[in-house]
Amino acid sequence: MALKPRNGVWAPADQPHTPIEAAHALAWQDAKRPGDWTPVERHFRDGHTETWWAADARLGGYAPNSPCRLVVATTDPARLPEKATWYLATNLPHPDAPHAAASPHTSADLAEIVRLYGLRPWIEQSYKQVKDELGWADFQVRSDRAIRRHQTLVNCAFSFCWDQWFAPPGPLDATAPDPCPNDGPERGTYRTPPAPTALLAKGLTRHPFLAHPRRHPQPLVASLDGQRPTLRTPGPDRRGHHRTRH
């Protein structure tokens, strides 16, 4: 789980109080003398690799031998750039921790934790596709069983879409017969609409988009002025008094 760099915790005055303070407390000189940092090589989908640096930090109850660890991963331990630094809380035990053998979770070194969290952008992207394009969020007003079935169908559709996306295109057989030669369109005969013979908003704009209300104020105001309602001449009211227009 990601932590905010300035999310404070209770600690003695002489100890770090935020994840970014805990990261700055780690020893670092340069790539040849990394101190507390360990180089981690990240592999990206396009084939290129980057060298990141990771370390176990100490903050409050977070420690390498604690049930919950604070792992910092960054491209530059000296500057800790905001957009290239992760502060991660994990319950995966350190391989050298005393409780690693008895822990219900598999131990993980720094490289494995960085690799696992690197999958997060793909998970978020896939979740957005499933929710927006395939209707994951369209489960309202359904029973529990219907929601489970709906999610299963969405997952199947997403898997088929990914399989088709990565599958190499096969050769097209131009001699293959039409499987339904006598069937017409599903919704009747398709008619091609005639080409337009005039421009919309002619005289107001020459650009191929909707007329902006402030682009041609004079013609627009003139068109509205020509359609103004007729004003009635004030007459006497019910008491016989003439109304005065202000």
The Cα diameter of the chain in Å comes to: 102
More confidently predicted of 68 and 238? 68
Number of separate helices (H) and strands (E) present in the chain:
5, 4
For the entire predicted model, the pTM comes to 0.57
Residue matched to tokens 């940092």: 37
- Say how far apart CA 6 and CA 12 lie, in whole Å: 16
Q: Could you give the 3-state DSSP secondary structure of residue 24?
A: helix
Q: Report domain extents, the chain.
A: 19-118, 124-165
What is residue 219's predicted lDDT score, i.e. its pLDDT? Answer: 57
pLDDT tens readout for residues 70-129: 999 999 999 999 999 999 999 999 999 999 999 999 999 999 999 999 988 777 777 777
- Say how far apart CA 130 and CA 231 lie, in whole Å: 58
pLDDT tens readout for residues 156-190: 888 888 788 777 776 766 676 766 666 555 555 55
What is residue 163's predicted lDDT score, i.e. its pLDDT? Answer: 81
HSE toward the beta carbon, residue 95, CA cutoff 13 A: 6
* Percent of the chain at pLDDT exceeding 90: 44
Task: List the structure tokens of 31.
Answer: 């790539």
